[in-house]
Amino acid sequence: MGLRVGTVALYNCGAEPLKLKGYPALQVLDTEREPMGTEVVEGTRRVSMGPEDPGPRPLVLDPGMSARSTLAWRYWAVDPRTGKGLGAYLRVAPDGQTPPQTVEVAGGLDVGEGVLGTTAWEYDISQAPPERP
């Protein structure tokens, strides 16, 4: 049951500052974009040897700034014939009040019906915002 880690990045592509506090709102979706039985939890304590969670604190993202949350989970068996157990998409929102967006997960999340832990949002100074079309 190997440890897996990934990140979710949020970019402020708007013209106004964006206030964040807490954890992203996530839902794991299968290859058909249907919700899976994955339990998403705030924090990483329930994921053995998961990364440290800094805990929630207020952040203000000026235009062009970004934040990230680290995701941690343990490998869960995926059926190679059907893909059952593979999370191919994430429904993501900065918080529980903002409408979510669905994003494809490169390589997928082999989390199945296990636990997906999240860290609180942190400033991310390592990435530039994506270019707008």
Across the range 7-33, mean pLDDT stands at: 94
Say yes or no to pLDDT of 128 above 90.
Answer: no
Q: What is the C-alpha separation between 49 and 15, in angstroms, rounded?
A: 39
Helix (H) or strand (E) holding 117: strand 115-118
pLDDT in tens, 106-125: 988 898 778 999 999 999 97
